Amino acid sequence: MRASKNSFWVSRRPAVAEDTIPEGEAARAAASILFWWLLFAGTHLGGSSLAVRTPLIRKLGLLGFKGIYALIALTVFLPLCSVYARHKHAGALLFVPDRTLLAATEGLMLVALVVLIQGVARPWPMSTQAELDGRFSKEARGIQRVTRHPQNLAFVLFGFSHLLVNPFSADLIFFGGFVVFGITSAILQDRRQRIAGIPEIRQYLAETSALPFAAIVTGRQRLAAKEYSRTALVAALLLFVVLQIFHPRIFG
């Protein structure tokens, strides 16, 4: 595990020898992380289903529903992170990261930040504001031409990249959860939008892809590099540098 100190994206293991961590404690930590992930996924994905979402919007209004939805997500996600922070690197050592994996992690994290901030910079055609206004854009622009779920892709890249350099079983559950949730959320979101049947969104779904670059490869989209935000690109690069510097202090 000495290789881990060469990367800012892997947390340092607490100063405890592997064989001094009680097996029962590691199992409880893994179970607790898994519990909070399942609770987060269940409330987040279940709350966005048409069976739950539609009647609540009728009663609370769209903004009221979105507010409660976000509050529940935050209420569950924060304990998930807290539990993992107290049990980082618990459980069995599954592999030892090498320099290649460390380099891959940093590269993937840079891509994740670029994708995430490009997604924020380019309003999503199926956003809350679009729902409030009742105006849905059927045209993809910028990062949406690569994938219609840039935030989900960023979550997947974040989780996968950290799996490469955090090799304990508790790490696998925590960071693996981002990968599973990001993919599952995108699939269910597409399913809900297709059922909703709004013509503009149906066209948007037909002309874009959830799988990165699939719509471009099949000729439904073009890369259109000029549509990407330069400000967002600079912001992503700056954030990457800041995280490189402060990651050990913030996350250990």
Structure confidence at residue 50 (pLDDT): 79
Structure confidence at residue 193 (pLDDT): 83
**What is the signed CA dihedral for 33, 73, 195, 208, rounded to 10 degrees?**
-80
Nearest to 106 by CA among 249, 242, 240: 240
Burial bucket for residue 158 (CB in 10 Å: 0-12, 13-18, 19+): buried
Furthest-apart CA atoms within the chain: distance in Å: 60
Structure confidence at residue 168 (pLDDT): 94
Please give the model's pTM, rounded to 2 decimal places. 0.85
- Residue pLDDT, tens place only, 169-202: 999 999 999 999 999 999 998 998 888 777 888 8
Spell out the alpha helix ranges (H) of 48-140.
50-86, 99-121, 128-133
Share of the chain above pLDDT 70, in %: 86
Q: Which domain holds residue 48?
A: 2-6+14-251
More confidently predicted of 176 and 51: 176
Distances (CA, A) of 80 to 35, 93, 177: 9, 21, 11
Structure confidence at residue 133 (pLDDT): 61
For the chain, what is the domain count? 1
For residue 132, how far is the Cα from the chain centroid? 25
Of 119-123, 141-145, 213-217, 234-238, the one with minimum mean pLDDT is 119-123
Structure confidence at residue 95 (pLDDT): 93
Whether 124 contacts 143, CB under 8 Å:
no
Distances (CA, A) of 79 to 49, 126, 145, 237: 23, 29, 35, 30
